[in-house]
Amino acid sequence: MAGRDFDEESGLSVVVENLAKPGGNSGARFRPGFILTHMSGVREPAAQEQRRKTFYLETFGCQMNVHDSEKVVGTLVQQGYRQVETVEQADLILYNTCSIRDKAEQKVFHRLADYKKLQSQGKKFGVLGCVAQQEGEKIFERAPHVSLVCGSASYRNLPQMLVQLENASGPAERAIPRAAGEVAALRDDAFVEKASDSGLRTRDLIRITGLDDRQTDKCFETEFTARTNPHRGYITIIEGCDKFCAYCIVPFTRGKERSRTSDSVLLEARQMGDLGYTEIQLLGQNVNSYKDPAGKRSFAELLAAVGEVPGIRRVRFTTSHPRDFGRDIVDAIDAVPSLCDHVHLPVQSGSTRLLDAMQRLYTREQYLERIGWIKSAKRGIAITTDVIVGFPGETESEFEQTLTLLEQVGYDGVFSFKYSPRPNTPAVTLDDAIPDQEKAYRLEVLMAKQRELQIIRNKRYLGMILEVMIEGRNEARQQWIGRTSQNKTLNFLASPQAKLEPGSYVSVLVTGSFPNSLVGECCISEQMELSVHPSSMIAP
């Protein structure tokens, strides 16, 4: 996928993890060494004992999916399952899937086909997430060895579904036990069925579904969350989407918007701060339409409150919708230093006519007005965006308008995608499809243009001192890998005497720049730089 190639190059973490790039996180696996964050605030090591039931989980897609998986793992561990690293070791094999574009959707079917033969060893397969919601029971037809299909809006029913799955794994002839009231507990749409069609052995066709909860008001809140990164963690503040952009499948797969109370979000943030996390990323399909069910805080107020949680040095949020993006968010960034110098504001197109066809609910001018707010902030805020090329009816001159927008805004990163028709979306019935070759050409032109712009933009950082959070080390290059508040990758050298490790914050002098990353030298150690402000950007 072109968007992904671009992303992989760019080195922005937003690239790997951004909600805006759901196809890009293919194949993320949680290693068993996660940290279980308990809602009581106790950090528990992953249980070491050999448990009876094992599971393997692979995650595709956006940050929202990655974080859902952290909660799914927490749920499974609480149910007595043990996570393993390979499909071969697992009793239960789960895929948390993405359907934002066609290619993302196909990945799960490839995986299911690859491992079908393992069914004869008694392994069970489950499909979770957006493909589950979108394809529903059709998955059982296409991959009859799948036993569980569950969309994200039904995850809170997972414990009951797991019980059903276990109870249903007896001999073929045995009636599947169903506790009194069980169906009601799972809502009417969740059921266990012992299918006997299609010529396969009956016991291979246990079918459990949780699909029709898209009207739910409830969020997926778990007692345990299995966070894999000990320094940076996600918190979902809003699930679902009510926008119904013409091309987008998300409102159909993730259901209607539902926000968590700001108190509950803050409780989780404080627990994470207590546990040593220093960076929090607030997640939602559209965080700007966050509405505190208790009516206590707006999104900007919640953002500011999370930024003031003791121990939290960085707060990010994604993804924003320009229509709902308020000036108060910029005011919050101005007022609270721990709010990162980065806003991801997907534009999709630079043409007002096309924006209208996409049902984006804003014009080019209104979008630029928001960009003006961001640019008038006291700190320099990096801006990134998403663009779709080849939406039905996009003329050459409309595409040109997107190119001029890139210049006008001066983005720090652009995630660009070829339009991919998605089932049930309004755009799927539109005429004037753009041939794939033309879409590919436009994508190439756009990426080349943005690359040139990024070369220029990144040069501005030369000679500046930026604070980074260390994410890892590239031994081959003898470089540390850091991330700046602007969400840029900054690879740097440091003397072996400097006691650096992932998670620590250091100041780095930028000595070189590439289109998608910066390079530098560590100039101040963590101990020495205590007086340096967390999100400072200092010209030497």
Question: Binder to ligand 5AD among 16, 20, 161, 357 (CB under 6 A)?
Answer: 20
348 binds ligand 5AD (CB under 6 A): yes
241 binds ligand SF4 (CB under 6 A): yes
Segment (H or E) for 178: none
Nearest distance from residue 227's CB to ligand 5AD, in Å? 23
What's the CA gap between 491 and 521, in Å, rounded? 8
* Residue 63 or 147 having the CB closest to ligand 5AD: 63
Nearest 5°: CA angle at 327, between 321 and 329? 70
321 binds ligand SF4 (CB under 6 A): yes
DSSP sequence for 462-488: TT-EEEEEEEEEETTTTEEEEEETTS-
317 binds ligand 5AD (CB under 6 A): no
Question: Binder to ligand 5AD among 22, 74, 337, 392 (CB under 6 A)?
Answer: 22
At a CB cut-off of 8 Å and minimum separation 6, what does 449 contact? 403, 406, 407
Q: Bin 122: left if φ > 0, else alpha if -120 < ψ < 50, else beta.
A: left
CA 45, chain centre distance (Å):
25
DSSP sequence for 477-527: TTEEEEEETTS-EEEEE--TTS---TT-EEEEEEEEE-SS-EEEEEEE-TT
Nearest distance from residue 44's CB to ligand 5AD, in Å? 34
What's the CA gap between 188 and 167, in Å, rounded? 19
Residue found by looking up tokens 């590439």 in the block: 514
Question: Binder to ligand 5AD among 213, 268, 386, 398 (CB under 6 A)?
Answer: 386
Question: Binder to ligand SF4 among 251, 307, 392, 482 (CB under 6 A)?
Answer: 251
User: Where does this chain touch ligand 5AD (CB under 6 A) — which range of 129-137, 264-272, 415-423, 458-466?
Assistant: 415-423
- The binder of 321, among ligand SF4, ligand 5AD, none, by C-beta within 5 to 8 A per type, is ligand SF4
Question: Binder to ligand 5AD among 420, 489, 507, 535 (CB under 6 A)?
Answer: 420
- The binder of 420, among ligand SF4, ligand 5AD, none, by C-beta within 5 to 8 A per type, is ligand 5AD
Question: Binder to ligand SF4 among 104, 219, 245, 481 (CB under 6 A)?
Answer: 245
- The binder of 241, among ligand 5AD, ligand SF4, none, by C-beta within 5 to 8 A per type, is ligand SF4
What's the CA gap between 257 and 249, in Å, rounded? 14
DSSP 8-class letter at 369: H
**Torsion sign, CA atoms 112, 118, 119, 120:** positive
100 binds ligand 5AD (CB under 6 A): yes
Question: Binder to ligand SF4 among 117, 174, 244, 462 (CB under 6 A)?
Answer: 244
Tokens of 521: 């030298």
Tokens of 488: 């840029």
* Residue 244 or 478 having the CB closest to ligand SF4: 244
Nearest distance from residue 18's CB to ligand 5AD, in Å? 8
Answer yes or no: are the C-beta atoms of 303 and 329 closer than 8 Å.
yes
Segment (H or E) for 307: helix 299-307
CA 335, chain centre distance (Å):
27
Nearest distance from residue 349's CB to ligand SF4, in Å? 12
* Residue 194 or 353 having the CB closest to ligand SF4: 353
**Subset of residues 219 to 248 that bind ligand 5AD, contact rule: CB under 6 A:** 247-248
Question: Binder to ligand 5AD among 417, 461, 492, 505 (CB under 6 A)?
Answer: 417
321 binds ligand 5AD (CB under 6 A): no
Question: Binder to ligand 5AD among 419, 461, 492, 505 (CB under 6 A)?
Answer: 419
Q: Applying CB under 6 A, what is the total number of residues that bind ligand SF4? A: 10
At a CB cut-off of 8 Å and minimum separation 6, what does 475 contact? none
Reference 409, options 354, 343, 462; nearest CA is 343
Q: Bin 412: left if φ > 0, else alpha if -120 < ψ < 50, else beta.
A: alpha
Instruction: Give the end-to-end CA distance of the chain in Å, rounded to a whole number.
Output: 40
Contact positions toward ligand SF4, by CB under 6 A?
241, 243-245, 248, 250-251, 285-286, 321
Contact positions toward ligand 5AD, by CB under 6 A?
20, 22, 100-101, 247-248, 346, 348, 386, 388, 417, 419-420, 422
